[in-house]
Chain A
Amino acid sequence: MENWKQNPRVFWTLGLPPSLWLLAFFIIPLGFLFIMSFSDKAMVDGEVSITGYDYLTGITNYIRAFDPLYLGIMWKSVWISALATALCLLFAYPIAFGICFAKDKWKPLLLLLVVLPFWINLLIRTYALIAVFRTQGYVNKILGWVGFGPFEMLYNNFAVIFGLVYVYMPFMVLPLYATIERLDKSYLEASLDLGGSQFQTFMRVTVPLTMPGIISGIILVFIPCLGSFLTPDLLGGANALMIGNVIERQFKAANDWPFGAALSFLLMYATFGALALRYLFTLRSKGVDV
């Protein structure tokens, strides 16, 4: 590719509109939210104002966020997301592998099936899950035929994790598919030829060589899971609140934007923390025995 410095006009023509877009609709609102997180609602005539704010008053919102109640929800969001991500990986890996080793003429169809749920609105898909899992739902109906149940399957952590896995599975399958597809199959053959079993080949060759796809998939699933609010709201109800629900309520029902902003930034820092961990991991794994 040509160096952009040699073609400044082309560079600016192509680069300026998206930069302005990002500045106007991402950086500036984010900055506004950042300021908001250090602000408080204004007091008017001894009452809390609905729309007025006292800007940059201090870190009271952050102190409030470290209340055990919110820390607990934050921690629960992290482990629910981590579990959902792990389950996604567990299911997506064989799916991606299967698609890669399918006949060429079937691959486009199989990939289409993976992304097909995206054609339907998330809300409708989530309501469909409710129809499947509710007490008079399809699962319980089938269990009833063989004499079990009915079980209460909605409005708990299980329902939330199931919903997250269902919704974010394609984000795990696609990057995995891309790396496995590019993987030179002769590495696997070499491992088998050298006496490795199928399992050893998978653990010592396939997994390390598809690590970039695994990490991309984890990031693509874990981060949206952490911030999700629709799925826990509809499937988890009051029993399985995640941090996304709390933030959403601050901005809407509670009308407490400063606190919502503070929670949002804490969530963002947690995400940065996860990315930093991943970076440290890749640095470390370069030097050591794989």
Chain B
Amino acid sequence: MSDTIVSIRNVTKAFPGGVTAVDNVSIDIEQNEFFALLGPSGCGKTTLLRMISGLETPTGGQIIIGGEDMAYTPPNKRPTNMVFQSYAVFPHMTVEQNVGYGLKVTGVASDEIRRRVGEALEMVKLTALATRKPDQMSGGQRQRVALARALVKRPKVLLLDEPLSALDAKLRDDMRMELTRLQETVGITFIIVTHDQDEALSMASRIAVMDRGAVQQVATPAELYEQPKTRFVADFIGKVNLIEARVHRQIGRKVDCELKGVGRMELVSDNLVGAQVSVAVRPEKLKIASSEPTAAIRVQGKVRDVAYYGDTSHVVIEAADGLNLSVNVQNDTRLGGSGVERGQSIWVYWAPEDSIVLTE
């Protein structure tokens, strides 16, 4: 396997005034990874990124980049480069000058600067705009300048702070693919900060989900979605039905519990659980039937709401004990639709292995 390029060890950042933005975080990021720091605003992800870049210093812990502890190394001495959320493309320089800036200030020979700037501009498809000033460019083009300016330095790690948030929807999709392509071409470790789960899921090879300064889970997108470790992760990544459950007893991995509004059943959990758990089920794992199914887990309820999204319909079903279940129904035949109407009495069922037992 590949080596660790960035190792964050017990890093804490406490701001004067008592706010702890990052609280004892440890993450290992591998060479050539497309790593995402994901979380709601104020979760500390940007502060963590800025500490990797050196623009912020931690109040505790180590940040090891390429085998060297750089927690207190200034940004201009680190093998990292950043693409800022606002792009921060220098307005008084042309595109070429912007891209060449990092080489010029570090004393690279001018003919080499010219060659590398040319390559970088080609990579982000901006060769034609080399002599433009930033104020004559669109947001998407400015972002490409910021990307080229960072990549031309051939950093060990490229840091991207919410790179897509300022772009419109169409451009965002293009740029998402572009970033993935770039990362594969240049073979540099990318660390991206985002609050957008779709962005993280579609681009990243691994994701660290953060909440209130702490890492909740580090995993691949599929693992995060299918095996969330905490209630927060299950809720933050994708849509989920969270059902309260009371645990009667646990024998080995088998948990005998009573789901509110559903009934008593046996589920599987790797962890030792307490008396109270939440059971998470993704809406697309739920099935509906008009007559009572034979499945082990089944609930009867009334259709409260149907929202049509073209390929799918999102159906909300109200069962006993105030339990609301969201079900995604594939509209897989043209004339059938979701086949449900508001107020209709209906059965919901799912396979026991699609239930995730969450303790916290």
Contacts and interface: CB of A to CB of B under 8 A. Distances in A.
A189 B90 contact: no
Nearest to B159: A193
B338 interface: no
Nearest to B105: A196
A190 B90 contact: yes
Nearest to A196: B105
Contacts of B153: 194-195
A191 interface: yes
Interface size class of B (residues with CB under 8 A): 20 to 34
Contact of B75 (A192, A209, A289): A192
Contacts of B91: 209
Contacts of A239: none
B137 interface: no
Contacts of B102: 194-196
A196 B153 CA distance: 12
A195 B84 contact: no
Contacts of B150: 193-194
A195 B88 contact: no
Nearest to A200: B105
B270 to A, nearest CB: 42
A186 B53 contact: no
A152 interface: no
A289 B100 CA distance: 12
Given A186-B84, A205-B90, A194 B149 contact: yes
A273 B101 CA distance: 35
Contacts of B88: 184, 186-187, 189-190
Interface string B53-73: 111000000000000000000
Interface in B2-57: 53-55
Given A194-B149, A195-B76, A189 B55 contact: yes
Nearest to B84: A186
A208 interface: yes
A202 to B, nearest CB: 12
A197 interface: yes
A290 interface: yes
Interface in A29-83: none
Contacts of B81: 193-194
Main secondary structure of the interface of A (DSSP, over half): helix
Contacts of A191: 90, 101, 105
Nearest to A211: B92
A208 B105 contact: no
Contacts of A252: none
B165 interface: no
A191 B92 CA distance: 13
Contacts of A194: 76, 81, 101-102, 105, 149-150, 153
Interface string B144-157: 00000110010000
B294 interface: no
Given A190-B84, A192-B55, A194-B153, A209 B74 contact: no
B101 A289 contact: no
Given A189-B55, A205-B90, A290-B92, A197 B82 contact: no
A278 interface: no
A208 B92 contact: yes
Interface string A193-222: 111110010001100110000000000000
Nearest to B149: A194
A122 B17 CA distance: 43
A205 B89 CA distance: 11
B177 interface: no
Nearest to B152: A194
B103 to A, nearest CB: 8
Nearest to B99: A194
Nearest to B86: A186
A207 to B, nearest CB: 10
A101 to B, nearest CB: 15
B159 to A, nearest CB: 8
Contacts of A193: 53-55, 75-76, 80-82, 150
A193 B153 CA distance: 10
B106 interface: yes
Interface in B128-186: 149-150, 153
Contacts of A184: 86, 88
Nearest to B74: A192
B72 to A, nearest CB: 14
10 contacts: A184-B86, A186-B88, A189-B84, A189-B88, A191-B90, A191-B101, A194-B76, A194-B149, A194-B150, A195-B105
Q: Lowest 6 CB-CB distances: which A-B pairs, in order?
A: A194-B102, A190-B88, A186-B88, A196-B105, A195-B106, A192-B75
Given A195-B106, A196-B105, 12 more contacts: A186-B84, A186-B85, A187-B88, A192-B74, A192-B75, A193-B55, A193-B80, A194-B81, A195-B102, A195-B105, A209-B90, A290-B97
